């Protein structure tokens, strides 16, 4: 009787088990490192429905930042996107010189009209592109940045800034203060 019950229970409960998550990082502080990444040659779609070749977009010689977000994400994306909007405001007329790229990690939901609405909510100025694409291509891009998330719910706050002088990338991990992000960007981009 006992054994059957335990077996029954295990059957009943196995689908309910959830994996435990890793301990929290302390927010506000962030980790910084300098890395080299090989950008895959994929074609993604921007908020206007235009096809863009990621490699040309990122390796244009302009300083460029990349982050991974999605339209319906909670706490992490609002903060990253507020950081982008803040940078555009801070740089004022210089803001056309910087290129901000957000890449969705939820391409199935995030169609161009959704990307466009998202940018409008943050009052994004020209120079901030939000890209979607096939799941396979997005996976390749995440992997190239050593930022592969198995699922969008495993999402982590990562921002990358490319240094035009030698093509290396500053990798920033954490939810940063606005001032720190602007500083990192200025340094990397020689602004």
Sheet holding 99-104, edge to edge: 31-35, 169-173, 158-162, 64-69, 99-104, 128-131
Residues 56, 109, 143, 146: which binds other proteins (CB under 8 A)? 109
Residue 43 makes contact with ligand HEC by CB under 6 A? no
Residue closest to 169 by CA, chosen among 82, 60, 66: 66
Residue 62 touches which of other proteins, ligand HEC, none (Cβ within 5-8 Å per kind): none
Exposed (0-12), middle (13-18) or buried (19+): which is 165, by Cβ within 10 Å?
A: exposed
Residues 7, 9, 53, 165: which binds other proteins (CB under 8 A)? 9
* 10-49 footprint of other proteins as x/- string (CB under 8 A): --xx-xxxx-xxxxxx-xx----------------x---x
Number of Cβ atoms within 10 Å of the Cβ of 122 = 17
User: Helix (H, G, I), strand (E, B), or coil: what is residue 11?
Assistant: helix
- Beta carbon of residue 26, minimum distance to ligand HEC (angstroms, whole number): 10
Residue 175 touches which of other proteins, ligand HEC, none (Cβ within 5-8 Å per kind): other proteins
Q: Are 30 and 65 in contact (CB under 8 A)?
A: no
Residue closest to 116 by CA, chosen among 107, 129, 127, 105: 129
* 59-88 footprint of other proteins as x/- string (CB under 8 A): -----------x-xxxxx-xx-xxx-xx--
Rounded (5°) CA angle 188-104-187: 5
Which residues are near ligand HEC by CB under 6 A? Answer: 75, 78-79
Which residues are near other proteins by CB under 8 A? Answer: 2, 5-6, 8-9, 12-13, 15-18, 20-25, 27-28, 45, 49, 70, 72-76, 78-79, 81-83, 85-86, 106-109, 112-113, 121-123, 132-136, 149, 151-157, 175-179, 181
């Amino acid at each position: 009787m006992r054994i059957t019950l335990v077996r029954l229970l295990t059957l009943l409960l196995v689908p309910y088990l959830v994996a435990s998550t890793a301990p929290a990082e302390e927010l506000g502080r962030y980790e910084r490192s300098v890395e080299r990444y090989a950008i895959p040659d994929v074609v993604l779609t921007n908020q206007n429905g235009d096809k863009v070749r990621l490699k040309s977009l990122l390796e244009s010689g302009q300083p460029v930042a990349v982050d991974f977000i999605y339209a319906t994400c909670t706490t992490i994306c609002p903060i990253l996107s507020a950081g982008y909007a803040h940078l555009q405001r801070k740089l004022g007329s210089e803001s056309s010189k910087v290129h901000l790229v957000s890449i969705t990690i939820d391409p199935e939901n995030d169609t161009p009209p959704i990307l466009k609405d998202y940018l409008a909510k943050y009052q994004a100025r020209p120079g901030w592109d939000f890209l979607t694409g096939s799941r396979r291509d997005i996976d390749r891009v995440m992997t190239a940045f050593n930022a592969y998330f198995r699922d969008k719910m495993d999402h982590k706050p990562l921002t990358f800034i490319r240094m035009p002088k030698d093509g290396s990338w500053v990798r920033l991990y954490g939810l940063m203060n606005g001032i720190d992000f602007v500083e990192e960007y200025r340094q990397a981009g020689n602004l």
